[in-house]
Structure 1
Amino acid sequence: MDFFIEVAHGTLIKHGEELPGDMVNVVRLEDCTIIVLADGLGSGVKANILATLTSKIAGTMLKEGADIYETVDTIANTLPVCKVRNIAYSTFTIIKIYNNGEAYIAEYDNPPFFAMRNGESMEISKKKSIINDKVIKESNLVLQEDDVLTVVSDGVIHAGLGEILNLGWQWKDVEAYLKKRTSSNLNVQVVAKDLLEACWDLYCRKPGDDTTVVSIKVRKPSFVNLFTGPPKDKEKDSMVIKNFMDAPGKKVICGGTAANIAERELGRKLKVNLEFFNKDVPPTATMEGIDLITEGVLTLSMVIEKIKKYLNPSSKNIEYIDCDGKDGVSSLVKILMEDCTHLNLWVGMAVNPAHQNPDFPADLSIKLKLVGELYNQMKALGKKVHINYV
């Protein structure tokens, strides 16, 4: 069985700097996923350039079929040399995971990666190789469903150094923390953000170093189908609903018109929930065979804003999503964040006059702009997204 490799990452920028000195590059291919975490020497602009070059070179070369030896040699001969320290390098961790669970990991001077299975650490054997005078630690392992790998920059294991903790947050402390979090079978977005939040607190909100967390989880593909907006040709309503219902996975409808079409074509009763769990969020509805029915434009816009804030934590405001609410926005965010690896969007092309500025052409309707934003945000979360325009 082929797995889906879910990846989440985030970075706290060193206090006083504008750019991170850490960089993460995720490359998805048909048969595998490549993840590179690079930590540039120092901090600020120079470190950002070093880390960016390293992550892009490694990701591109491995994507084109180069091996680790060619990749490391190219990195070593490409990076500029620091005139002050007479060294120029970026530490890195490279992970390549095939869809069947086979994984290869190469580490150079980054903290050792964490591998968790059922809330316990996995014992991983590593061999050392010398490439261009650099000691590379290589690992080969076979991952199972729900295994979690976490890679961090040294900002994580130095968190609290000289402030709350004398020697910083040691590797064993981070390992113990991750054991507790992964034993709860949380999604990787929560694991990564929780670890960043812990570092944020240990640094007293003033990170002493760039701090990056990358969490990777092996999971079964999970499909979600979201239908919004009436089809352009009303005669195609029946075909669209049939294809939507026949598609594997969860079913979500956003919009009253789309829900009414489903009610008519399926011959099932649509029942509106009159209980308001959040006065700012439109009510939901229920129908047999549909996992969630929400209002359209307002709900989608609030969902997108929540995911945006989640994806872009700043050094002044790390915001986390509460997915436990019963309102339409919380329920939809939970489905998209936690239950979805593959999202199929079924988007009706009929223009709703209520959502349309008469000065704009039809293709700039609010609905289509929201769908485009949702597509981008879900891709940023590492999900596979496909849009069916109907």
Structure 2
Amino acid sequence: MKNLFTELEFYQVRKASEHTAGDAFMVQKDPESHRLLAVLSDGLGSGVKANILANMTASMAIKFADSYTDFVHYAQIIMNSLPVCRVRRIAYATFTVIDCHPDGFVQIVEQGNPPFILLRNGKAVKVPCREFAGDQDDYRKLRVSRFTAQPEDRIIFFSDGVTEAGMGSPKYPLGWRLSGCTAYTEEQVQNDTSISARRLARSIVQAALQLETGYQACDDITSGVLYFRTPRRTLLASGPPFSEKKDREYAEIIRRFDGTKIVSGGTSADIVARELKREIQTDLFRFKRSSLPPVSTLDGIDLVTEGILTLTEVLNLLEKKKRPVQQNAATLLCEHLLNSDLIHLLVGTRINQAHQDPSLPMELEIRRSLLRRIATVLEEHYLKEVTLEFI
């Protein structure tokens, strides 16, 4: 398991009539031990009240799990802390907690949420679980599962907005149900064996939404996916080396890299092309309506873009977590980064005089600061493993 990376992503659509989601999703990764915790909580009802209940429950679960308290004990404390609605006889919040260790050992505790799905070799497999009861006369039970993940395993978990999608319709009178969601995820993985956690989570939610009348969500719909895989590696090189004597070394680092290669910056691309004796070709028509400079092609390099302007937009996209309507060089660069697991930033430290002009906008930061911020966002918001090398 040392050579495996755990990709975790979730996607959510809130109830159509609400401005706040009643499902809460929280993630925590220890940068030293690489232990990963994920919690999905579904608050009773929808809107602000459900949001408060779900976030309170998820926060408790993260704190208890991080403290290395006995797994079942802390889950029972959470369950017993949540009252039961006297009218509907259901808990004020349900939860799924996933505790993933770097050696591949996984513990999952569920209360009230639909059971998780473990896909192995493209098929759902049964995982033995134990049930634990709450206080006396409490019908609620905890489901606790423990297993060791294998390469290419996927864990799919969701709120009941997924399994109950389409409920009452002629085709799905009882909703999509766990069986429908299982069949769908199996089909998606079999059609694309390398589908990312990000794409699969979005696909599940969108498929559930399509079952709803008028594509209007009748409940909060949330899905999370963990994908255990061989790490996808990306090198992003930007900026020329501090000394011209380093140009050859700079180009060789890029050439020898095993993974996706991106060069951001005209001077950087010129150095690579010159040292590797290759030709750059600029595509002026691919994104002709974009406000950003065009992309270029260079043999052996997956993507070549302009530098500071494009990287600034990449940072904006990563921080805002939004999908722009129009594709451009920045969206392509973002896709490469988000589809990767291990990202190496090769940062040239030669001063580019064009960016020292005080008349230029303040957001055109010096390259080193900009790439440091991109690294921080990728690590903290997207759980990527990022290294920086200055040359």
TM-score, normalised with respect to structure 1? 0.83
1:17-55 CA-partner distances (Å, limit 9, x unpaired)? 121111111111224211111111222112111111111
Maintained 8 Å contact 2:79/2:134: no
Letter in 2 for 1:337: L
Q: Does 1:250 align with 2:245?
A: no
1:28 equivalent in structure 2: 29
1:9 counterpart residue number: 10
Alignment CA distance shift 1:4-1:330 (3 Å): same
CA contact (8 A) 1:188 1:217 kept: yes
Match of 1:191 among 197, 200, 205: 200
Cα deviation 1:305-337 (Å, max 9, x = unaligned): 66678x45xxxxxx6999xx9x85565344323
Q: Among 303, 306, 325, which residue is 1:292 paired with?
A: 303
Pairs within 5 Å for 1:328-343: 331-338=332-339, 340-343=340-343
Q: Distance in 2 between matches of 1:79 and 1:233?
A: 62
| Secondary structure of the corresponding residue to residue 60 of structure 1 | helix
* SS at 1:99 equivalent: coil
CA-CA distance at 1:294 after TM superposition: 2.4
SS in 2 for 1:278: coil
Matches of 1:177 and 1:17, distance apart in 2: 27
Partner of 2:146: 140
- Aligned-pair distance for 1:78? 5.0
Q: Distance in 2 between matches of 1:294 and 1:232?
A: 20
Distance 1:75 1:356 in 2: 55
1:100 positional shift: 2.8
Stretches of structure 2 that go unaligned for 5 or more consecutive residues are none
Unmatched 5+ stretches in structure 1: 313-318
Letter in 2 for 1:137: R
Q: Return the offset for 1:263.
A: 3.5
In structure 2, relative to structure 1, the CA distance for the partners of 1:260 and 1:148 (3 Å cut) is same
How far does residue 6 in structure 1 lie from its aligned partner after superposition? 0.4
Q: State the 1:75 CA deviation.
A: 2.2
Alpha-carbon distance change, 357 to 55 in structure 1, aligned in 2, over 3 angstroms: farther
Counterpart of 2:180 in structure 1 is: 173
- Which residue of structure 2 aligns with residue 229 of structure 1? 239
Question: How much has 1:67 moved relative to structure 2?
Answer: 2.0
1:106 is matched with which residue: 83, 105, 109?
109
Kept in 1, the 8 Å contact 2:98–2:109? The answer is yes
- Once superposed, what is the RMSD of the aligned Cα atoms? 3.4
Partner AA of 1:346 in structure 2: L
- C-alpha distance 361-197 of structure 1, shift in aligned 2 (>3 A): closer
SS across alignment from 2:69: coil
Once the two structures are TM-superposed, the CA of residue 367 in structure 1 deviates from its matched residue by 4.9
> Which stretch of structure 1 is more off in the superposition, 343-352 or 212-221?
343-352
Cα shift at 1:169:
1.3
Name the residue aligned to 1:316.
none
Q: Confirm or deny: 8 A CA contact 1:76 1:89 kept in the other structure.
A: no
Query: Is 2:187 the counterpart of 1:162?
Result: no
Q: Which amino acid aligns with 1:50?
A: L
TM-score, structure 2 as length reference: 0.82
Q: Which moved more, 1:106-115 or 1:80-89?
A: 80-89
Counterpart residue number, 1:211? 221
Aligned-partner SS, 1:45: helix
- Aligned partners of 2:295 and 2:304 also within 8 Å: no
- In structure 2, C-alpha distance between the alignment counterparts of 1:32 and 1:355, rounded to whole Å: 41
In the TM superposition, what whole-angstrom CA distance separates every residue of 1:149-191 from its partner, at most 9, and x where no partner exists? 1101001111122356322212111111111111122111111
Structure 1 residue 252: Cα displacement: 1.4
1:263-305: CA deviation from partner (whole Å, max 9, x where unpaired): 44x34323214574332461312144x3332222454456566
Share of identical aligned residues, percent? 32
Residue 268 (1) aligns with residue 271 (2):
no
Secondary structure of residue in 2 paired with 1:65: coil
Tell me how far 1:350 sits from its aligned partner. 4.9
Amino acid in structure 2 at the alignment position of 1:62: A
1:346 aligns with 2:346: yes
Q: Which moved more, 1:357-366 or 1:255-264?
A: 357-366
Cα gap change, 1:78/1:386 in structure 2, threshold over 3 Å: closer, same or farther?
farther
Identify if the C-alpha distance between structure 1 residues 191 and 259 changes in structure 2 by more than 3 Å, giving closer, same or farther: same
**Aligned partners of 1:121, 1:321: CA distance in 2, in Å?**
35
